[in-house]
Amino acid sequence: MTDSTKYHSKLANARVLIIGGTSGIGFGSAEITLEHAPTSTVLLSSSVQSKIDNAISRLEKSYPSAVGRVHGKTVDLSNDETMESQISELLQWATSNGTKQLDHLIFTAGDSVDIRPLAENTLAQVKRSGNVRYFAPLMFATAIAKHNFMNISTQSSFTITSGVSGVRPIPHWAVYCGYLAGLQGLTRSLALDMKPIRVNLITPGPVETEMWDGFPVEQRKVVMDSLERSTATGKVGRVEDLAESYLHCMRDANMTGSWINSDGGTLLLGPY
């Protein structure tokens, strides 16, 4: 007689697409999916093919049983003129031209920030800054609604990523804080428009990812020390901890329109 697997098997044979899945939180989400759903298919996207190849190699090395079940494709979400066609092409690929519907879509993509004083903002720069962070997840939802790329079920989920500066603003970050805050309203609205597919938002605080690898050691230490002081835990978040939130959003079929903080208590404290 064997043990029950009613919890462990929730993601059995799931088809999961992770936008921005080649590094940081997205890569962690791929890892935790493969670890908790050993029969799942994980699909990664990034704007750079070499990052996709490297991510697949790393995942297959850590999870040998996943060989043949991890795939990747490039997508460029930075250009508003080609965004819709890029998203459509990616979703066609991810679903084998609509024959294998997605069960879960995780959006963790981001791009470099263009921080400038308020007086130096331009409309073109403001629009461009929202392409990846705000407009892309909205257009993914639009494409799914239009072409039925996902299984229509409460077992399916779309998880979006925001950031604590959408709640706790930073000077000169008006553009980005506005978009990140807007994702909260977008998530709740999509939870109604996409039902019964579930839509949820995760708000990370400071997280230690590969993004910091390019910083000189001393500068990195100064930044990390400052970030640690901004948290109630006294620690910068780890990718493996953040990934738990994405796993939860996929597994909890009763949760939609929700906002999960994984910020080390950053929002409990005062200004940066």
The Cα–Cα gap between 154 and 135 comes to 24
**Structural domain contains residue 8:** no
**Structural domain contains residue 95:** yes
The average pLDDT across 256-269 equals 93
Q: Check whether 261 has a pLDDT greater than 90.
A: yes
**Structural domain contains residue 3:** no
Report the domain count for the chain.
1
- CA torsion 35→36→41→47, rounded to 10°? -60
40: left (phi over 0), alpha (psi -120 to 50) or beta: beta
User: Is residue 162 a contact partner of residue 203, using CB atoms and an 8 Å limit?
Assistant: yes
Write out the two tokens for 145.
């609604």
**Structural domain contains residue 184:** yes
More confident residue, 213 or 98: 98
The Cα–Cα gap between 202 and 222 comes to 27
Write out the two tokens for 52.
């996709």
* pLDDT score of 8: 82
Write out the two tokens for 254.
């009763």
pLDDT tens-digit series, residues 37-73: 989 999 999 999 999 999 999 999 999 999 999 999 9
Handedness of CA 44, 45, 49, 50 (dihedral sign): negative
User: Is residue 130 a contact partner of residue 83, using CB atoms and an 8 Å limit?
Assistant: no
* pLDDT score of 270: 64
- What is the band of 272 on the pLDDT scale with cuts at 50, 70, 90? low
What's this model's pTM, rounded to 2 decimal places? 0.94
The Cα–Cα gap between 155 and 106 comes to 14
Q: Are strands 207-208 and 104-107 parallel, antiparallel or unpaired?
A: unpaired
**Structural domain contains residue 123:** yes
**Structural domain contains residue 125:** yes
Helices 24-36 and 239-251: crossing angle in degrees, nearest 10, is 60
* pLDDT score of 211: 67
**Structural domain contains residue 51:** yes
Domain containing residue 244: CATH number: 3.40.50.720
Residue 157's Cα: distance from chain center in Å?
12
**Structural domain contains residue 2:** no
- What is the band of 6 on the pLDDT scale with cuts at 50, 70, 90? confident
The Cα–Cα gap between 94 and 72 comes to 9
Question: What's the domain range around 164?
Answer: 15-268
Longest dimension (CA), the chain: 70
